[in-house]
């Protein structure tokens, strides 16, 4: 009797659908921008950029914006027609079928897992570690710091999408405002020697400019993550495409202004030392804005890592929910959400354990920085493969499912081509030449993931009916699940 009553209570507290109307345009925009993490990128990627292209960092972000616009064309086109928690894997399924959709799901899940482990957890711990003398001298001092983003991220996720979205909205507005305001202060300072040089080649070769632009493109990764929460937004087929466009514009403006400020603030003539210095962004802020200014910048940078992790967590939990609903790797029993908050709590608790264990293993084996580099290299490359598949899926979808005439179909074919070329170049550049150990581990893990994906395709072919495969990542599968 008691057991039966308890089971009914559990059933009544859970539903098989994500909570509708949990966000709108502005929360959607800052879901993407939080994943992009402009302040954290300014404090980290700009250093790598300068090592490739010197003073021409702003030029690489201008070029990257054009490439990202091509990448977002695919997101924009699909988002007007498909709303699915699986995000990119549902887009792949739409044109290329459920088998490749399942392959994409495995890679996409790996991508966001790696982003949470590498960027939000280990990089946060690695950046914070030297700032606290009591921990800096301890080889394991980074571990308690890694738990700060982990606890905050998964606590917010446990209590639903709304708290997460409002955190990233408020934090994102502050982050963008402070970063732009501080950058303009540096640019307009009487002691700054402004120049047009950062917008020129400045002696760079095509190769160095290409690699610099590649890293600038990485700075926009996650802008399209809004597609994973599309089922929970108000009028998603209108809101998501708009949020993608506005997010791209805001991100581009922030990157171009802040990268220019960093370059001229450091000094174009001395830019060679920028990439070899420790936290040069903090140094520039201290020189122009003093201890209070640099403290504020450090705080928004650290919060940028956390906001990034929350946005990644939103995407991770929704992809996991979509995969469980489609019975891909995760059991269907996990595809339930809390009736009040809409949080997929079973998924959240499972993923919190998974991310924590992998973060500790990676950090203990290689240290937080190298561990993060290994994981983020892998997660970047698998994302390129996912994007390439989705880019190929778009014209197939337009031709086969939408039956567009040639004039309307041609943009579906041509729009994603520049992005696909960039992704292929990025994959080539990541492993050519093969990096030294331990970064070479990323290559071997990537090969393992591709083999695992192929085996998963074979498994789906042998164990699923054609009708079940067809429904992977589809709106029809959502309706059937929620109907049950």
Provide the token pair at 316: 């991770």
* Confidence band, pLDDT 50/70/90 cuts, at residue 52: confident
Decide if pLDDT at 461 tops 80.
yes
d(CA 281, CA 178): 14
Decide if pLDDT at 194 tops 60.
yes
471 or 10, greater pLDDT: 471
Predicted pLDDT of residue 268: 95
Q: How do the domains of the chain map onto residue ranges?
A: 21-483
Partners of 15 in beta bridges: 337
| Residues in contact with 336: Cβ distance below 8 Å, sequence separation at least 6, in sequence order | 14, 15, 16, 344, 346
Residue 348's Cα: distance from chain center in Å?
18
Please report, rounded to a whole number, the percentage of residues in the chain having pLDDT higher than 90.
Answer: 82
Decide if pLDDT at 446 tops 80.
yes
Structure confidence by residue, pLDDT tens digits, 314-346: 999 999 999 999 999 999 999 999 999 999 999
| Residues in contact with 418: Cβ distance below 8 Å, sequence separation at least 6, in sequence order | 66, 67, 70
Query: Left if phi > 0, otherwise alpha if psi is -120 to 50, otherwise beta: which for 253?
Result: alpha
Alpha-carbon torsion 260, 266, 268, 272, what sign? negative
**What are the helix (H) ranges across 83-141?**
88-96, 98-115, 124-128, 133-136
Decide if pLDDT at 467 tops 60.
yes
* Confidence band, pLDDT 50/70/90 cuts, at residue 234: very high
Predicted pLDDT of residue 308: 94
Mean pLDDT, rounded, of the chain: 93
Structure confidence by residue, pLDDT tens digits, 383-419: 999 999 999 999 999 999 999 999 999 999 999 999 9
Predicted pLDDT of residue 64: 93
Structure confidence by residue, pLDDT tens digits, 287-303: 999 999 999 999 999 99
Provide the token pair at 393: 């899926």
* Confidence band, pLDDT 50/70/90 cuts, at residue 12: low
Q: Helix, strand, or coil here: 35? A: helix
Alpha-carbon torsion 116, 355, 132, 310, what sign? positive
Please report, rounded to a whole number, the percentage of residues in the chain having pLDDT higher than 70.
Answer: 97
Average the pLDDT over 103-121 and give the result.
95
Predicted pLDDT of residue 4: 52
Decide if pLDDT at 463 tops 70.
yes
d(CA 346, CA 323): 13
Q: Which helix (H) or strand (E) holds 337?
A: strand 337-338
Radius of gyration of the chain (CA): 22
d(CA 199, CA 63): 10
- CATH code of 21-483, in short, is 1.20.1740.10
Predicted pLDDT of residue 43: 82
d(CA 365, CA 362): 5
Q: Which class for 468: exposed (0-12), middle (13-18), buried (19 or more C-beta within 10 A)?
A: middle
Average the pLDDT over 271-290 and give the result.
91
Mutual angle of helices 38-53 and 206-218, in 10-degree steps:
170
d(CA 245, CA 255): 16
Average the pLDDT over 470-475 and give the result.
95
Decide if pLDDT at 3 tops 80.
no
Identify the DSSP state of 18: P
Predicted pLDDT of residue 288: 97
Predicted pLDDT of residue 6: 44
Decide if pLDDT at 2 tops 50.
no
* Confidence band, pLDDT 50/70/90 cuts, at residue 448: very high
Decide if pLDDT at 421 tops 60.
yes
Mutual angle of helices 280-325 and 475-483, in 10-degree steps:
60
Average the pLDDT over 183-197 and give the result.
96
Q: With contact defined as beta carbons under 8 Å apart, do 453 and 447 qualify?
A: no
Average the pLDDT over 153-182 and give the result.
96
Q: Which helix (H) or strand (E) holds 15?
A: strand 14-15
51 or 363, greater pLDDT: 363
């Amino acid at each position: 009797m008691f057991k039966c009553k308890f089971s009914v209570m559990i059933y009544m507290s859970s539903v098989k659908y994500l909570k509708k109307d949990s966000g709108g345009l502005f929360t959607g925009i800052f879901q993407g921008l939080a994943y992009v993490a402009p302040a954290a990128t300014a404090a980290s990627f700009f250093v790598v950029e300068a090592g490739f292209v010197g003073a021409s960092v702003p030029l690489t972000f201008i070029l990257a914006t054009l490439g990202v616009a091509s990448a977002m064309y695919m997101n924009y086109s699909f988002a007007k027609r498909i709303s699915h928690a699986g995000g990119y894997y549902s887009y792949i399924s739409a044109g290329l079928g459920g088998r490749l959709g399942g392959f994409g799901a495995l890679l996409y899940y790996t991508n966001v897992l790696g982003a949470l482990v590498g960027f939000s957890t280990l990089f946060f711990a690695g950046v914070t570690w030297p700032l606290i003398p009591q921990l800096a001298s301890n080889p394991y001092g980074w571990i308690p710091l890694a738990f700060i983003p982990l606890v905050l991220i998964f606590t917010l996720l446990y209590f639903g999408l709304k708290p997460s979205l409002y955190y990233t909205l408020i934090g994102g507005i502050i982050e963008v405002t402070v970063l732009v305001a501080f950058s303009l202060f540096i640019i307009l300072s009487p002691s700054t020697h402004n120049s047009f040089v950062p917008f020129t080649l400045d002696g760079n070769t095509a190769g160095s400019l290409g690699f610099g632009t590649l890293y600038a493109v990485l700075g926009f990764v996650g802008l399209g993550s809004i597609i994973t929460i599309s089922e929970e937004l108000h009028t998603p087929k209108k809101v998501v495409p708009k949020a993608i466009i506005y997010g791209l514009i805001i991100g581009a403006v922030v990157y171009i202004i802040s990268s220019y400020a960093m370059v001229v603030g450091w000094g174009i003539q001395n830019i060679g030392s920028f990439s070899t210095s420790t936290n040069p962004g903090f140094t520039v802020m201290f020189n122009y804005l003093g201890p209070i200014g640099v403290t504020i910048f450090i705080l928004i940078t650290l919060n940028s890592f956390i906001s990034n992790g929350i946005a990644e967590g939103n995407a991770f939990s929704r992809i996991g929910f979509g995969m469980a609903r489609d019975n891909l790797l995760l059991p269907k029993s996990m595809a339930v959400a809390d009736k009040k908050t809409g949080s997929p709590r079973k998924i959240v608790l499972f993923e919190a354990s998974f991310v924590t264990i992998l973060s500790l293993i990676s950090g203990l084996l290689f240290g937080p920085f190298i561990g993060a580099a290994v994981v983020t290299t892998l997660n970047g490359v698998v994302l390129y493969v996912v994007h390439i598949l989705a880019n190929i899926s778009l014209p197939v979808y337009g031709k086969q499912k939408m039956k567009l005439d040639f004039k309307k179909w041609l943009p579906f074919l041509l729009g994603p081509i520049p992005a696909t070329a960039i992704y292929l170049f990025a994959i080539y550049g990541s492993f050519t030449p093969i990096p030294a150990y331990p970064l070479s581990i990323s290559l071997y893990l990537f090969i393992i993931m591709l083999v695992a994906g192929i085996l998963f395709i074979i498994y789906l072919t042998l164990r699923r009916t054609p009708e079940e495969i067809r429904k992977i990542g589809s709106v029809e599968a959502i309706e059937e699940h929620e109907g049950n």
